Amino acid sequence: MSADTRQRLTSGFGQKRSSFRDWRGQRPFWGGMLTLLAGIPIMYIPYQNLTLGSLTIRMSTTAGAGSLIIGVLLVVLGLTMWFQPQSRVFAGIAAILLSLVSLVVSNIGAFLIGFLLGLIGGALGVSWAPGGPVARRAERVDGATDTTGAAGTAGSAGAAGVADRAADDPADAETGTRAGAPHGRPDTALSPAAPGDGADGAHDKDGNGRHRAG
């Protein structure tokens, strides 16, 4: 696939998909979808006939008009969640109540299909909450990164300062080395001259470790 083809796909289908994703994230999309789908079987099933061989069973009840009203209201509530997300709490509660009523009015909630879809869709609509702006989250992440980077820079500067002081004044570094020597171990570099271990004691060592004649 060439670069021009990828660019055309990105500019066409990719932009539409990105716009749809942004639109879907700003509203209880799945709650509205399930609520809308719940109204279809509630409207449809009570007005159909079931044929078993030569036996025809009518699914409609005495409250067939009630099933039609409940189905239409569920479809409207699903669209309300999509296009009026600020009314999602009212639409979700109304969808839950209508789903409960459909258990009695519409053949046990269209054989529990419409009842379960409306119940779950209404619950999703009530529980949905809008997210924070993306730019604000990005600013918080950038601020945390800057703080961490400043702390790391300050630590590096402190270590560099210690190394520079040690290079400028070797005496301080040597003093620090001596101070850090463990207890019980003499400093052999500055230890006084000790007599030799020879049999006659005629030779000993000077301060620099050289043998000298007695």
Region 59-63 average pLDDT? 61
Contact by Cβ (8 Å): 193, 206 = yes
Neighbours of 180 (CB within 10 A): 7
Confidence bin at 189 (pLDDT 50/70/90): very low
d(CA 122, CA 36): 10
Query: What is the rounded distance in angstroms from the CA atom of residue 58 to the CA atom of residue 52?
Result: 11
Output the six-digit token pair for 121: 């869709």
The amino acid at residue 196 is: G
Which amino acid does the sequence have at 200?
Answer: D
R_g of the chain, CA atoms, integer Å: 43
Predicted pLDDT of residue 178? 47
**Nearest CA among 67, 63, 69, 75 for reference residue 39:** 75
Confidence tier at 82 by pLDDT (50, 70, 90): very high
What is the C-alpha to C-alpha distance for residues 57 and 49, in angstroms, rounded to an integer?
6
Q: Which amino acid is at 120?
A: I
pLDDT at 201: 46
- pTM score: 0.57
What's the pLDDT score for residue 107?
A: 82
Q: What is the mean predicted confidence (pLDDT) over 205-210?
A: 52
Transcribe 84-106 into DSSP letters.
-GGGHHHHHHHHHHHHHHHHHHT
Give all strands (DSSP E) within 44-121, no chain letters.
Answer: 49-52, 55-58
pLDDT given at position 51: 78
Mean pLDDT, rounded, of the chain? 73
Averaged pLDDT, 114-123: 95
